[in-house]
Amino acid sequence: MIKSITINELAKIANVSKSTVSKALNDKPDIGAETKKRILDIVQQYDFSPHPFGKGLKNKFTENVGVVFCRDMHPISANPFYSRVLEGVEAEIAFNNRNLMLQFVTEEQTKGIPKMLRERQVDGLILIGSMTREYIQLIQSKDIPIVLVDPKFEIDSCSQVVMDNEHGAFTATQYLINMGHKEIGFISGDMARLSFKQRFTGFLKAMKYHNLPVNEDYISVGGMEKGYEHVLGLLKRKNKPTAIFSSNDINAQYGYKAVHDLGLKVPDDLSIVGFDDIELSHMVSPQLTTIRAYKEELGSIAVRNLLKLVENRDQRPITSVIPVRLIERESVRKIN
């Protein structure tokens, strides 16, 4: 650790006691205006920052927030999404003048209670991604404020920030319908994921709302990054959908590949709508029409809510739903 000026030395320089310096630093009322100014000037001049360890030992706040980032083993899958969430988290933490302590875990490998929590180095925790229910409960048992971002499961009595998955999926499906499609397929990764389940619900509701039958043959779900296989399967049947709603962009991309490999084209032969709006989706051709999730927003709201929980320990759990919106690009063709 680099040593530097302390409150004691500062006090000596200013010719006051260290408690007076402390008062100046912490905007306490019982201090004279000129004294305060004089001290603050010296603080400026010497570029003094109070040492957080001294503070923390005393007042029990670390001013650090912990982030446990559950990364996917299949790195492309969820990571481009969660990386953006992390950026939102970081920005909001910095804005609130806290420090961010990061730990990665995978769904399978969590290494028990995070070190930063065991050592009480953080005031609260943001949990990003699809950690197991058991892991979350383990952390909850330590009685520290936590906020979940896009959890894999429905978790009761826990603050969380989620997307408006159902509405997004409804919108996506309705868009396809409005573009004249009636034979609409649905593909998705692991349906155990809450988000995907909700997106499926939104899909079904839109179909129902528009009095369209849902053809079981047009639905292909499960696995990790199996979009290629899903789309291939759907297109090899005798009667095939004219459009597909994919519950995430990655699988939509893999779908592109399947269409391409069959010698067909998007959107001429198959229209596709995705969900998430990752960077990749406007990089490919044709650019993917998709539902944009405001990923940084998910992160920053999570931090804001966490900070509320930290400041007020008997605040009830907060659930925030972040809106989404349709981004029209080139992957859907109007028919009839």
Long-range contacts of 146-149 (CB under 8 A, 24+ apart): 146/306, 147/302, 147/303, 147/305, 147/306, 147/309, 147/318, 149/85, 149/89, 149/298, 149/299, 149/302
Is-contact 242 183, C-beta < 8 A? yes
Tokens standing for 38? 């004089």
Number of residues that bind a second copy (CB under 8 A): 56
Number of residues that bind DNA (CB under 7 A): 32
Nearer to DNA, 50 or 286 (CB): 50
Tokens standing for 118? 């065991």
Work out whether 316 is an interface residue with DNA (CB under 7 A): no
φ/ψ of residue 225, rounded to 5: 55, 45
Identify any residues that bridge with 26 across adjacent strands, giving them in sequence order.
none
144 binds, among DNA, a second copy, none (CB under 5 to 8 A by kind): a second copy
Sign of CA dihedral 310, 316, 317, 321: negative
Of the candidate residues 2, 47, 57, 143, the single one contacting DNA (CB under 7 A): 57
In the block, tokens 């290629």 appear at 228
Count Cβ atoms below 10 Å from residue 223 Cβ, excluding itself.
14
Binding mask 2-31 toward DNA (x if CB under 7 A, else -) reads: -x--xxx------xxxxxxxxx-xx-xxxx
In the block, tokens 């849902």 appear at 214
Work out whether 307 is an interface residue with a second copy (CB under 8 A): no
Work out whether 254 is an interface residue with a second copy (CB under 8 A): yes
Of the candidate residues 8, 26, 49, 319, the single one contacting a second copy (CB under 8 A): 49
Nearer to DNA, 36 or 205 (CB): 36
Which segment (47-55, 70-78, 155-163, 306-314) binds DNA by CB under 7 A? 47-55
Residues 122 and 307: their CA atoms lie apart, in Å, by: 12
Work out whether 18 is an interface residue with a second copy (CB under 8 A): no
Closest CA to 242 of 218, 210, 216, 209: 218
φ/ψ of residue 100, rounded to 5: -110, 120
**Pairing, β 64-71 against β 124-128:** parallel
**Pairing, β 324-327 against β 289-293:** antiparallel
Site for a second copy in 263-302 (CB under 8 A): 279-280, 283-285
Nearer to a second copy, 202 or 267 (CB): 267
Nearer to a second copy, 150 or 164 (CB): 150
In the block, tokens 């990364």 appear at 71
Nearer to a second copy, 60 or 316 (CB): 60
Residue numbers at the binding site for DNA (CB under 7 A): 3, 6-8, 15-23, 25-26, 28-33, 35-36, 49-51, 53-55, 57-59
Residue numbers at the binding site for a second copy (CB under 8 A): 1-4, 49-54, 56-57, 60-62, 64, 67, 71, 75-76, 79-80, 83-84, 87, 90-91, 94, 97, 99-104, 111, 115-116, 118-121, 123, 142-144, 253-254, 257, 260-261, 279-280, 283-285
